[in-house]
């Protein structure tokens, strides 16, 4: 079974202070000084694929994993780590384009890659990522490929070479389905899915496997970008202020502070409730 | 301009979806616009309640064998081709956010997920939504009809359906539609103990500073003794120490308690979205520079464990 996991390296937005949140005339926020991290839902997707790989052999299923990302060279660190974690292939679509609010373009590149270059049985993606917060890419990939899609996935288990057992959160509970491939899986809040760390030995042995790099221009994205702008376009960006009074209780000991908190701020409120 | 609300009557949260949409419609002055509601349902005995809670007077009922997005999308498309609707409104739940995007793609329209405000313009729809993990508010223009939007969780006060005469303009049985042949078998497990955190009066939130399962368990005891329910930030939920339905924030519960006490929470904007509607916020954190301090009404800079243990003694002594 061929499974491709799509991920995105995103800026760690929590490093920014309140004052850093300002958009320029092109509606961009300067994040050049911020470190990159794996988008949390994509991290879960990668780890879930590895867990599936761990147990697939017992089901006589051979899982062939590809890691896929769109971005610049900064993403190569993650791709090398994924090679060390035994992904068979790591692909990066070289791009400096501003795709923050163009999930349609991202989805087109992914679906075109799978349709024309590297056929897959399953595509796994995080449900959304924290710049655009579009929440659309996995759904659009499924629509473009005309594949079924399972959203809010929290567990993937092996079944047969052509099927998987997938558990997802639905309104009011969880659904466990055995489904045939091909399909798109959109990963939601999956517990215990932090990405594992490769061994030093595997880093040395597999970490230098060449990354397949393709240029995004070969996907004809300029025309796509124009089309998408016509459909839905960002016109303004403003900081959301979360500021409140922020009174700090002074005191020598935790007991003293707890006492002031209770007497001055808590007692009356608790009584009213 | 005409709008259509799509609701999933197969889900146990139907009434809250309907009330949420009704609140959103009231906030956005849609009273003068023609609207109708399509409700998918699977149990006949619930039909009356579904009709009574519809946010519009006109409604259409579609019976399905179970809620399955592929089936529902196919039926919706068949319906849309015979209707003249410019705007489709979906609720904020899992089903709403999924259907909104996929339906818009099939109708060659435009879509936006998590909308918290809208203005209907001449041949365009202006929408607002939180982006950059709730650090920024974006304004978007949708130009391609039909506009399909799902609303943001907690963006409108839930408002019970207005008391009015409702007219079921069509009722169809689509239980035979079967676009789900890729499903070999399925098993639904209803949520055993819903967290109910959306409606609690006092909420305590455990953050990254809670480093062990035992500490999360102790915090739950303290919360209980103070009359609070416990919610958690993403790192705590990811460790599997509490059920995922206790996750607070953009991808979890959007709470609006009278009082919120955060313990070891740094104040990530994605989490803060889930408590920003609290009437009063008390933060306990060792780091004075943590963003939660400025976002709280009152803060204690200290070890949350020590402070809360002391607070518990004080509360018990005063009882």
Q: For residue A162, give the chain B residue with the closest CA.
A: B182
Predicted confidence (pLDDT) at residue B315 exceeds the cutoff of 80: yes
CB contact under 8 A, A258 and B310: yes
Q: Do B139 and A235 touch (CB under 8 A)?
A: yes
pLDDT value at residue A130: 84
Angstrom distance (rounded) from CA A156 to CA A151: 12
Q: Do B302 and A13 count as a contact with CB atoms less than 8 A apart?
A: no
**138-157 in B: which are within 8 Å (CB) of A?**
138-144
Q: Label residue A125 left, alpha or beta by phi (over 0 means left) and psi (-120 to 50 means alpha).
A: beta
Model pLDDT, residue A1: 96
In A73-209, at which residue ranges do the beta strands (DSSP E only) sit? 89-94, 122-126, 149-160, 163-170, 173-180, 183-187
Lowest mean pLDDT among A259-263, B97-101, B168-172: B168-172
Q: Which residue reads 């796509």 in tokens?
A: A224
- Structural domains of chain B, with CATH: 3-173 (3.40.50.620), 197-317 (3.40.50.1220)
Q: Cα separation of A260 and A258, whole Å? A: 6
pLDDT of B269 higher than 80: yes
Query: A192: which residues sit within 8 A by CB, 6+ positions away?
Result: B238, B239, B240
Tell me which residue in B113, B227, B238 faces A191 most closely, judged by beta carbons. B238
- CATH tag, A2-231: 3.40.50.620
- Chain B within 8 Å of A240 (Cβ-Cβ)? yes
Q: Output the pLDDT for position A33.
A: 93
Question: Residue A128 CA to chain centroid, in angstroms?
Answer: 6
Average pLDDT value for residue range B255-277: 95
Rounded Cα distance between A78 and A47, Å, is: 13
> Where residue B7 falls among pLDDT bands split at 50, 70, 90?
very high
CB contact under 8 A, B226 and A267: no
B201 burial (CB, 10 Å; 0-12 / 13-18 / 19+) is middle
ipTM: 0.94
The parts of chain A modelled with pLDDT lower than 50 are none
Give the model's pLDDT for residue B34.
87
B12: which chain A residues are within 8 Å (Cβ-Cβ)? 171-173
The b/e string for B69-107 (b: 16+ C-beta within 10 A; e otherwise) is bbbbbbbbeebbeeeebbbbbbbbbbbbbbbbbbbbbeb
What is residue B29's predicted lDDT score, i.e. its pLDDT?
79
Identify all chain B residues contacting A177, using CB atoms and an 8 Å cutoff: 183-187
The residues spanned by each domain of chain A are 2-231, 243-273
A-B C-beta contacts closer than 8 Å:
266
Question: Is the CB of A172 less than 8 angstroms away from the CB of B129?
Answer: no
**DSSP-assigned states of every residue in B26-60:** HHTT-TTSEEEEEEEE--GGGHHHHHHT-SSSEEE
Tens digit of each residue's pLDDT (9 = 90 or more) over B31-74: 778 899 999 999 999 999 999 999 999 999 999 999 999 999 99
Tokens of A14: 């929590």
CB B140 within 8 A of CB A100: no
Query: Terminal CA-to-CA distance of chain A, rounded, Å?
Result: 57
Q: Encoding tokens for residue B86?
A: 């410019």
Q: Which helix (H) or strand (E) holds B217?
A: helix B213-225
Q: Do A139 and B105 touch (CB under 8 A)?
A: yes
Structure tokens at B121: 């313009």
Q: Where do the H-state alpha helices sit in B140-212? A: none
Task: Return the pLDDT at B232.
Answer: 96
Residue among B11, B118, B132 with most chain A CBs within 10 A, to mutate: B132
């Amino acid at each position: 079974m061929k499974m491709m996991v799509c991920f995105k390296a995103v800026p760690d937005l929590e490093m920014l202070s309140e004052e850093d949140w300002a958009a320029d005339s092109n509606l961009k926020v300067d994040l050049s000084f911020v470190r990159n991290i794996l988008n949390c839902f994509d991290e879960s997707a990668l780890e879930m694929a590895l867990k599936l790989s761990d147990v697939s052999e017992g089901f006589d299923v051979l899982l062939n994993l590809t890691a896929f990302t769109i971005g610049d060279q900064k993403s190569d660190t993650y791709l090398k780590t994924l090679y060390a974690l035994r992904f068979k292939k790591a692909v990066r679509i070289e791009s400096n384009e501003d795709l923050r609010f163009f999930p349609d373009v991202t989805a087109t590149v992914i679906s075109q890659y799978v349709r024309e270059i590297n056929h897959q049985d399953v595509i796994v993606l995080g449900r959304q990522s924290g710049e655009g917060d579009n929440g659309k890419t996995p759904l659009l990939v499924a629509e473009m490929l005309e594949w079924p899609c399972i959203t809010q996935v929290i567990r993937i288990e092996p079944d047969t070479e052509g099927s998987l057992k997938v558990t997802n959160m639905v309104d009011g509970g969880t659904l466990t389905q055995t489904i045939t491939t091909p399909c798109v899986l959109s990963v939601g809040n999956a517990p215990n899915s932090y990405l594992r760390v490769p061994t030093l030995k595997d880093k040395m042995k597999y970490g230098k496997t060449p990354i397949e790099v393709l240029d995004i221009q070969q996907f004809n994205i300029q025309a796509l970008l124009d089309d998408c702008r016509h459909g839905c376009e960002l016109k303004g960006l403003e900081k959301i202020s979360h500021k409140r009074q922020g009174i700090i209780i002074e005191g020598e000991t935790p007991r003293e502070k707890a006492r002031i908190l209770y007497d001055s701020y808590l007692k009356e409120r608790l009584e009213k409730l | 301009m005409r709008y259509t609300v799509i609701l999933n009557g197969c889900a146990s949260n139907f009434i809250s979806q309907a009330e949420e949409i009704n609140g959103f419609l009231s906030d956005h002055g849609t009273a003068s616009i023609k609207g109708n509601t399509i409700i998918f349902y699977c149990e006949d005995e619930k039909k009356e309640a579904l009709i009574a809670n519809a946010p519009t007077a006109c409604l259409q009922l579609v019976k399905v064998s179970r809620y399955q997005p592929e089936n529902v999308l196919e039926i919706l498309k068949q319906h849309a081709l015979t209707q003249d609707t410019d705007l489709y409104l979906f609720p904020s739940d899992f089903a709403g956010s999924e259907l909104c995007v996929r339906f818009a793609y099939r109708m060659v329209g435009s879509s936006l997920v998590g909308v918290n405000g809208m203005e209907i313009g001449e041949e365009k729809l202006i929408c607002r939504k939180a982006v950059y993990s709730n650090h920024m508010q974006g304004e978007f223009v949708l130009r391609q009809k039909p506009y399909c939007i799902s609303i943001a969780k907690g963006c409108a006060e839930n408002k019970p359906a207005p008391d009015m005469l409702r007219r079921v303009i069509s009722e169809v049985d689509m239980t035979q539609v079967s676009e789900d042949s890729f499903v070999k078998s399925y098993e639904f497990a209803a949520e055993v103990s819903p967290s109910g955190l959306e409606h609690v009066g006092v909420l305590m939130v455990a953050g990254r500073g809670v480093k062990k399962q035992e500490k999360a368990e102790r915090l739950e005891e303290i919360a209980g003794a103070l009359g609070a329910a416990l919610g958690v930030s993403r790192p705590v939920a990811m460790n599997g120490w509490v059920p995922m339905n206790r996750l607070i924030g953009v991808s979890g519960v959007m709470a609006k308690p009278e009082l919120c006490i955060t313990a070891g929470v740094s104040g990530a904007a994605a989490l803060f979205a889930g408590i920003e509607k609290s009437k009063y916020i008390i933060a306990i954190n060792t780091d004075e520079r943590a963003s939660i301090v400025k976002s709280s009404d009152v803060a204690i800079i200290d070890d949350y464990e020590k402070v809360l243990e002391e607070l518990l003694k004080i509360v018990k002594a005063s009882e």
